[in-house]
Structures are given as structure tokens and as C-alpha cells.
Amino acid sequence: MTVAFERPSETPSLDKVGPVLVATGIAVLLLAAILLAAWLTGASGLASDLQARLQPPSFQHLFGTDMFGRDVLARTIKGLALSFRIGFLAAGISVIIATCLAIVAASGSRLADSIVSLLTDMTMGLPHLVLLILISFALGGGTTAVVIAVAVTHWPRLTRILRAEILQVRNADYVAVSRNFGKSRWFIARHHILPHLIPQMIVGFVLLFPHAILHEAGLTFLGFGLEPGKPAIGILLSESMRYLMAGKWWLGLFPGFLLLVAVLCFDVIGNGLRALTDPRGGRS
Amino acid sequence: MSVLEIERLTVSFHRRDGLMRRIAIDCVRDISLAVARGEVLALFGASGAGKSLLAHAVMGLLPANALAGGTMRFDGRVLDARAQAALRGNRIALIPQSVAHLDPLATVGQQLRWAARRARHPMTTPGAVEGALSRFDLAPAVAGTFPHTLSGGMARRVMLAMTTASGADLVLADEPSNGLDAENTARVFRCLKSFAEAGKAVIVISHDLSAALKIADRVVLLSGGQVAAEERAGAFAGDGGALSTAYARLIWNALPQNGFSRVRHEA
Amino acid sequence: MRLEAVAVGFGFGGGTPVLDGVDLALESGRISGLTGKSGRGKSTLGKILARHLLPTKGRVLIDGAAPVSSGFNPVQLIHQTAIFAVNPRWKIGRIVSEACLPDEALMQALGIRRQWLDRYPHELSGGELQRVALLRSLTPRTRFLIADEITSMLDPIAQSEIWHALIDVSEKRDIGILVISHDRALLDRVAAQTVTL
């Protein structure tokens, strides 16, 4: 028998499990290592040692030291741990905001839907960074301000997805059947709608997380975020700029690279999860 | 001689079972059939029997995650992806199910002319479009209208007119009677029969056996992605005694207009 | 029991209404047919009778009285394609027991196998899933079934099996069935009388 024609054999969305697993592995290791190291080292290593300023990487200081003789590795770990905490909080709050607004929009009131749509369009229409700077500045900077600024700018996309999902399920034939069986609104929300929302919320969270971290770092880099005393990645990077021309490359390279790895991993995981949780993906 | 020959066609889909396992599901298995010029072949089966997949495999329009195997020949030459792309729309035509397949932004006349141009028989003489429409009982004014103003039956006939304009040798009609009333169904089927009379090969895909029987010469019954029976259309008569397979007899006698017989069918 | 549509109308906005002043009556224990060209509002009438839609004009009455607008509805609708009428994330076992635990004898009459209960909807064929939807709707409290083209996508063998089972159920449990179909031959077989819309 001859095979006269052949098509790509892979289900496009579901075949990328390999990279997702690798990314998950790296992300979990990174997360665990950094949180653990930050907790174990406490304040040690953050102290300045003016005898050992701006030293290139060595066995004693793997990532080198900065202009005050502080260990760059210790500061990077502290910075990432801080970033993770802020990202986790901001992404979590964002998901909660998105869920609440989506439920309000899809609740059946046309007015509520229009208001949420208007809010979504306005937030999406404004440049992200401008809004972030404005909110963070208005709240006086610092950790809380950054968390709030990131949280209130990242919900619109997820709100749209969740709203569409709720509307689709609410109008499904099986919900009409359930209503006809005398099931309460609570039963339908809990047993028919929620199981469709939770995967979207998890995916939304995982995708928002790297965004939140990047924006926290960006905001801090520009000077509108965390206090300069904190060892945040944004501050490390902005400090390193001054010494980049002097050839002190290790100040920016290591923190920047670790941030990039963390962000990329979570992005890959989020996209992989989205493909895996789509009930339509890969089923014909 | 056969225009289209299909030998042991298999179409399967891959899907992930859980996180790690990937399984292949055969949706069409080992289908062999042939259709000759001047012949109407009816492909009958319930939804999910693999009828539309078979048509899409012939056209080379399977979704990207489908894997097809087997041999298909068109006019004696192997029908591979490149041949399909070259023949689609001029020598092989598919009449799809719904109006949604017409371009909503172009008039019927424009779309007819495009169809003719694609097949390299452009309609240049004045009145050619109107003439093509009138052959399918469509008024000349229809040429200036947009698809959304057409009824289901008219849209189906516009698509038939486009097929004629393309001068295809092989016509596949996917559920041509779906959503049409008896009068429009009869009209559409008459048009399809006229294709066969003009020397084309016609494949009618339908889940309405009695409607398809009115114009078919042969019937291939599909079930669960396989050929369950192949019969002459004339054998579907009376109590089905002339039918050569038990499956065809079961189907025939289960029709409400025949015995409506109750049989335990082990799928 | 008697299910009636009295001068029922349905339309969107200012356009021509889909239904206008339609009367229809069903008796429990009897099978009636409803036919008509596509676009005449057969399915809309079915949805209104089963309370999936509210009529913009007229009323639906059960035994001459307006039924309560919430709680269990003795009128159940069966859709043309069962796959959209079941939650894709629920297993069959959970689907069939949404209203109440299914009756063993009925399961057998409809040809439903035990091993299906542990599967997901997309793992069953259209005909198998339609039987599942029927089992779910045929609760002890169900008095009427609105069957909207329920076998038009199935092969004739499955069609005949399902209808024979439904004819039995209708008789045994005193259930009224409205058969919405464009297939005259089917209506002649199963319905005592047929109304054309």
C-alpha cells in the first residue's frame, strides 16, 4: 500500500508538553531555591564590605560584588524572592478582580455589562506603563503601591475571557435542562459554570504572574516602584546601568538573566496549561 | 472508467489522553470505493459515520491534526496534496452544506464569475451569468443580490451553478437536502442528476436514505467509519429481498416508511 | 394531564414574529406530531412549551392553570444534538442522575449500558448520547416530552429503536410526547395525529 498523502501527525496545541514540563521543572526549582535561600540567608550577605567593591565573579562571590561591596548573588536572590511575592500577590488580586467583574458583567444586567465593558476598554486602551506609573506615584510608591498598581492594571484580558466563558455556559442547552429540573441558580453556578471557570482562572493566574513580575521590575527600574533601599531586581538593574560603561557587566547580567528565565518559564507553563485545559483542544 | 478511485482510505486523529499518552483514533477505516462518469453514488451514514471526513479527504481539506493513509486516484493519476490543490475548484468541486460558504461581501454574479475564472473558463459573453443561473431556476435578478438575502434552497442552487461554471468532472455534494423542504430538495437533486447525465461523476453525501435513493445509481452505506454495505440503488425496494447484505436490509426495514422494524443493533 | 399553548406568539423586537397566535394541546399518554417548513417556528414552539423560552404573547397552561415558573418542570425538552445538551465536563453517570437516580428498567428499555456511566460525553456516539439524554429527562415526575428532531441525525436502526422504546414508555408511564419532525413517514408511524405549523 502506498501512502499517497500525509498530513502533520501532531495535534498542534497539545503537542508541546515537553517544553512545558521542562519549564515547570525549572520554575519549581527556581522558586523553591530562591524562596528557601532568601529565608535561610536572612539579612546576611546584604551587608556592605567596602574592602571588596566592584569585584568580578569569583568563588567567594559567584555573581561578583557591587559598588558597596555587597554580594550580587545574595541581592539577586533577595530581589527575586521579593519579586515573586509581589507578583504572586498582584496576579492573585488581579484574578480576583477579573472574576468578580466577569460575574457582574455576565449576571444578566445590561447596565452592569456596559459598565464593565467600558472599564475594560478604558484600562486596555491606556498604555500599561503610563497607568502603572500614575497609580504607583499617586499611592506614594513602596511595596503596597506596586502591588495595587500591577493588580488594577492586569485584569482586563482575563475579565473578557471569563465573561465570555460564563455567557457561553449560561446559555448552553444543558443549563436550560438543569433549570428545568428545578435546580437553583446556586447549583448551576457551582456545578455547571464553575468547573469551566476554574481552569481559565488558573491559566490566567499563571500567565499574569510573569507579567506582574516584569512590570514590578520595570516600574522600580524607572524609579516609581519600590524604595531604593530594597534589593529589588528593578533597583539592581537600574544601579547596574551606571557601571555598565565601566565594564562591570556582572552587576546587570546575572539578575537580568535570572529574571528572564523566571518570566519565560511561567509564560511557557501558562500557555501550555491553556492548551491542555481547553476541552476542545485535540478532540475532534 | 472510474473518475475517482479510493483504495483503503484511513483517516485518524491524534489526541492526548491525560498528560503523557497520545492515542490515535481512526475515524475512517479502510474505505475503498470508486465512482465512474455519468454515475451518481450515494454515501449514506448517520452523523459520525465518516461521510464528511471522506469528502474532505478527497478535497484535501482535512484539519491539521488528521492523518490520512491509503491511495486515491483521480482519472488514473495519484491524487496527492499537490494534485488536490491543482484540481480543487476546477475539476473536483465540493458543494458545501450551508450559505456560510458563500462570500457574504460579494454578489452572486461576482462569485459565479470568480468560480468560472478559477477554473479557467471565464464568463466573458454578456448574459453568461444570467444563463448559468436560469439553468437552476434562478431569476436573472439573483445575480445582483448578496448571499444573505437568499433562502437555503436558492443558496444551494447558486452553489450548484458555481459548480457548473467551474466545469468539474467530479462533484461532491455534502448533505444537499439538509434544511430544505421537499420541493427544494427535489429541485436540487434534479440538478445533481443532470450533472451525471452530462457525464460528470457525482457523489451525494446524505443521512436521508430515501431522498438519496431517488437519484443514486449505487449506494455505499457507512457505519462507524467503515463501509458496511455497497448496494445497487434499485435493490432498495419492497421488503429489501434484493439487497445483498444483511446490514442494508436492516437499515431499509428500519425506515419508518418501510417496516420500522425493531432490531437490537449491537454497535 | 393536559399541556396547552394558548395564542402563543414569539418575536424579537420589531421584525415579523417567529410565532403568532399559535394554539396547541397535548394530552399525557398520547403522542402527537408537529411538522412544517423550516423557519416556521417549530423549535421555538417546542422551547416555549418546555419553558426554555418565555412567549412574548399568549400563555402555556398545564391542566388549565399557569404552572409555577420555577422548580421541577413536568415538561422536558429533548434536543436534536445531544452533545450540546450535556455538560462536557460531567461523566454520563452524573448526567443521568442530575434530576434523580435513573430507573434500571428504563435504562434497559433505552439500551443504555452500565459501562457508559463512567465515560465522558465525547466518548459516546450521537445515538448513545441521545439515549442518555432521554433517560435523564424521563423522571417519575415527567409528564410531557418535547422531542425536537431527536433522531434526525441518527441512523434508521437507532431511530426505530429509540422510538419503539419511547412509545412503550409513553404508554406505561402516561407520558405525552410532542414529536417535532420534518419526516412525514416517521410522524405517520409514531404520532396519533399531526399538526402542521
What domains lie within chain A, and their CATH numbers?
17-41+71-277 (1.10.3720.10)
CA distance B142 to A8: 42
Distance from CA of B64 to the nearest CA of A (A): 6
Q: Which residue of A has its CA nearest to C72?
A: A182
Please tell me what DSSP assigns to residue A192: I
Contacts of A283 in chain B (CB under 8 A): 15
Distance from CA of B167 to the nearest CA of A (A): 25
**pLDDT band per the 50, 70, 90 thresholds, residue C134:** very high
pLDDT for A15: 56
CA distance B163 to C112: 44
Domain ranges of chain C: 2-196
Percent of chain A predicted with pLDDT > 70: 90
Is C193 strand, coil or helix? strand
This model of the complex carries an ipTM of 0.92
CA distance A205 to B145: 49
Q: What share of chain C is helix, strand, coil (3-state, %, to 5)?
A: 35, 25, 40
CATH 3.40.50.300 given to domain C2-196: yes
Note whether residue B261 is domain-resident. no
| Mean pLDDT within A185-209 | 91
- Mean of all residue pLDDT scores within chain A: 83
Domain interval for residue B127: 38-62+88-254
With a cut of 80, say whether residue C72 has pLDDT above it: yes
Beta-ladder partners of A145:
none
Strands B66-74 and B77-78: antiparallel
pLDDT for A279: 52
- C119 — contact with chain A (CB < 8 Å)? no
Distances (CA, A) of A68 to A44, A48, A75, C13, C168: 15, 5, 12, 74, 90
- A281 — contact with chain C (CB < 8 Å)? no
Q: Which residues contact B70 (CB under 8 A, 6 or more apart)?
A: A1, A3, A4, B6, B7, B8, B9, B10, B30, B31
- B61 — contact with chain A (CB < 8 Å)? no
- A9 — contact with chain B (CB < 8 Å)? yes
**pLDDT band per the 50, 70, 90 thresholds, residue A2:** very low
Domains in chain B, number: 1
Note whether residue B52 is domain-resident. yes
pLDDT for A43: 63
Q: Which residue of C has its CA nearest to A169?
A: C87
Chain C (92-131) residues lying within 8 Å, Cβ to Cβ, of chain B = 111, 125-128
pLDDT for B161: 86
* pLDDT tens, position by position, A92-110: 999 999 999 999 998 878 8
Distance from CA of A181 to the nearest CA of C (A): 5
- A195 — contact with chain C (CB < 8 Å)? yes
CATH number at residue B144: 3.40.50.300
Please tell me what DSSP assigns to residue A193: I
Instruction: Number of A to B CB contacts under 8 A, please give it.
Output: 66
Strands C2-10 and C57-62: antiparallel
- Mean of all residue pLDDT scores within chain B: 85
